[in-house]
Structure 1
Amino acid sequence: MLRFDVHSPVEEIRLPLYTEKNVRVFVKRDDLIHPYISGNKWRKLKYTLNQAIQQDRTLLVTFGGAWSNHLLATACAGAKFGFKTFAFVRGEEVDNPVLKLCKLFGMQLKFTDRQRYKEKETLFEEYFAKDSNAYFIDEGGYGPHGMMGCSEVIDELNEYYEHIFCACGTGTTAAGLLHGINKNRLTSIVHAVPVLKGGSFIGEEIAKLLPNGQENLQLHTAYHCGGYAKTTPSLISFVKDFTQQTGVLLEPTYTGKLVFALHDLLAKDQIPSGSKILILHTGGLTGLLGMLDRF
C-alpha cells in the first residue's frame, strides 16, 4: 500500500455568531494535508491508486474542468508515486496556472468538447481500450474507493460532533462521511452543501455509493450562488470577512459556499443551540487563482 499517511488537525473557530447562537464550531483542516494533493483529493485517490498498483497499471486517466483541483492532485500524485497521467479536460483549449502545474507534474492534457466529455467511459475506451497500462479514474475521484478514503475522516476524530458540514461536487465525500458514521455507530448529521445548481442529484449519487445508511444526511441545495464556480457579491464579501477574521483561507467554489451555508442556517436558528459542529475543509485552494479578480 502507498505510504502517504495523513491525519489533519482540528481547530476551533470563535466568532460572535457562534457565541450568540451558543454553538461551538471546529474545522477539520484537510487543506493542510498537502499543497497540491489537497484535502479530500488525497482521500479520494488513496485506495484508487492502490488498486491501480495491484492491477499493474502505470497510466492514470481521469477527467476534469480547466480549474480542476482533482486534475492537479492526480498529476502530483502520479509524479510522487511513479505513474504517468493523462486527463480529458472539459471544454475549449485554454491555458491557466492550474493546467500549467498539471503539465509541470507531467500530465498530458486532451481538451474535449462538452458534449463528448459527458461520455467519459466511451472516451476512455476510444483512446485507451488497447492500452493495458491505463487505469480509469472518474471525475473528481467519484466512486467506492473514493468513498472509502473519505470515510477515514470519521476514524480520525477524537471528539463527537452532532453536525458535520461538507461541500459537494460529486457526493463522494458526503457518502464517505456517512459510511464512517455508520461504521462507528455514531448519530452525527452530515450536512451536504452542493455547489452546483440543481444539486438535489447529489442525493442520488450518494445513494449509488451507499444504498443504505442515509438517514443522517441533510442536503442544503440553496447555496450554489448560480451554479458551479459562480459567485455573488455577498459570497465574495463573506469569504473575505471569514478569512480575515479567522486566518482560515476559503475559496468561493467549495468551502466558501459551505461556510456561508452554515452561517445562514445558524442565523435562521436551524441548528440547535448547544451543538458541536465540524466543518470539513476540503482544500482546493488553488481554485482561487482563477477568481482573484473577484476580490
Structure 2
Amino acid sequence: MNYTNSLIEQISFNNQKYFVKRDDLLHKDFSGNKARKFYYFLKNDFPKIKKVISFGSAQSNAMYSLSVLCKIKGWKFDYYVDHIASYLKENPIGNYKFAKEFGMNIIEAEVPKTFKNDELFISEGGAVSAASFGIEILANEIRTWAKENQIKNLKVFLPSGTGTTSLYLQKFLPFEVLTCSCVGDDEYLEKQFLALEKTNFPTILKKEKKYHFGKLYKELYEIHNELLNQTNIEFDLLYDSLGWLCFEKYVENFDKKDEFNFLYIHQGGLLGNISMKERYTYKYNS
C-alpha cells in the first residue's frame, strides 16, 4: 500500500501559478498530514502495545486516521472527547461515523493521567516528536522533486493546527516554510513549536482577522468553492480554506513572486468536509 510519495501537480488559481503536493491522494483511508505524522507508528513494531489512547474533538481528522492505524495494527482504540453533540450521536457523519466503523471506542470524559504498559498515548492532533519520522520523508520527497525539476527559489506553505508538520518540514527543508494558525492564535502556535523544538521555526503568516476554529465564515466557503471550480481539486474546509486565504494574500503582496515558485501541501481530511458542507449549505444556501 502506498502511504508516501504523493504526486506534485501544477495549478493556476486566480491567474497565479502554484504547485500542489497531493497528500490527499496518498491512500483512501490514510492520507494527508496525519498519515505523515503517524507513519512512524505504522512502519515500526510495537510488540507490547495493545491499545492506543488519544483525545480531541468528535470530528477530528486525527481521530479518524488513528482509527485506521489501529485497525491496520490490530490495536484497540480509546478516544476521549469533552462532548458529543446529540445530533451527531443520532446522525453519525464524517470522521465520527467512519472512525466508529473502524472500531474506535469514543468516551465522553477527561483523558486519563496514567497509562498501562500495553497502552500507547498519542497527543491531540499527533503533536509528538515521533511525527518527525514521516515528515522527514515528506521533506525528502519535496527536495527530490525540486532537484529533478531544477527549482531553487521555492516557498512551501501549509496551514497549521498544532504546527507539528510545518515545524518538522522547516527542520528538514532548505526552503522557507510558511504557515498560518488555524486552531489557536499565533502565540498558541509558537508555544506548540517550542514544546517540540527550540529553534528554526517556520514563518507564521498574519491573518487579516481572528477566526474561531470550526466556526462558519462565508469567505472560507467561497474560496473552497472557487478552488474546486478553478483547479478541480477539493480541499479541506477547516484548514485548507483559511490556509489558501492567507497564502494567496501573501503571494499577491510578495514583491519577487515572478522569481519564486510556491508549493502548497494539501492537508487531506476530506471526510471532515461532509459535515462542514452540510453546515455551510444550511447557512448560506438554504
Normalising by structure 1, report the TM-score.
0.84
Q: Provide the aligned C-alpha RMSD in A.
A: 2.1
- 1:261 and 1:55, CA in 2 relative to 1: closer, same or farther beyond 3 A? same
Shift of 1:55: 5.3
- Asked whether the equivalents of residues 2 and 26 of structure 2 are also in contact (C-alpha less than 8 Å), the reply is no
Shift of 1:46: 1.5
Q: 1:151 aligns with which of 131, 136, 140?
A: 136
**CA offsets 1:107-166 (integer angstroms, 9 cap, x no match):** 111013xxx4xxx5xx242xxx3x332110111111111133222211012114521001
CA distance in 2, matches of 1:197, 1:42: 22
**Size of the alignment, in residue pairs?**
268
In the alignment, does 2:251 pair up with 1:254? no
Alignment of 1:66-81 (within 5 A): 66-81=58-73
- Asked whether the equivalents of residues 62 and 125 of structure 2 are also in contact (C-alpha less than 8 Å), the reply is yes
In the alignment, does 2:33 pair up with 1:36? no
Normalising by structure 2, report the TM-score.
0.86
- Asked whether the equivalents of residues 200 and 219 of structure 1 are also in contact (C-alpha less than 8 Å), the reply is no
CA distance in 1, matches of 2:238, 2:209: 9
CA distance in 1, matches of 2:260, 2:204: 18
Letter paired with 1:173: T
- 1:271 and 1:76, CA in 2 relative to 1: closer, same or farther beyond 3 A? farther
CA distance in 1, matches of 2:267, 2:208: 17
Structure 2 residue matching 1:277: 3-state secondary structure: strand
Q: 1:269 aligns with which of 254, 263, 283?
A: 254
Identity, % of aligned positions: 22
CA distance in 2, matches of 1:203, 1:225: 16
Shift of 1:271: 6.0
Structure 2 residue matching 1:263: 3-state secondary structure: helix
Letter paired with 1:133: D
CA distance in 2, matches of 1:146, 1:224: 30
Q: 1:107 aligns with which of 80, 104, 107?
A: 104
Letter paired with 1:106: G
Q: Any gaps of 5 or more consecutive residues in structure 2?
A: 282-286
- Asked whether the equivalents of residues 182 and 213 of structure 2 are also in contact (C-alpha less than 8 Å), the reply is yes
Q: Any gaps of 5 or more consecutive residues in structure 1?
A: 19-23
Alignment of 1:82-231 (within 5 A): 82-92=74-84, 94-95=88-89, 96-97=92-93, 98-112=95-109, 116=110, 120=111, 123-125=112-114, 129=115, 131-157=116-142, 158-159=145-146, 160=151, 162-181=154-173, 186=174, 188-214=175-201, 217-222=202-207, 226-231=211-216
| Structure 1 runs of 4+ with >3 Å offset | 48-51, 269-272
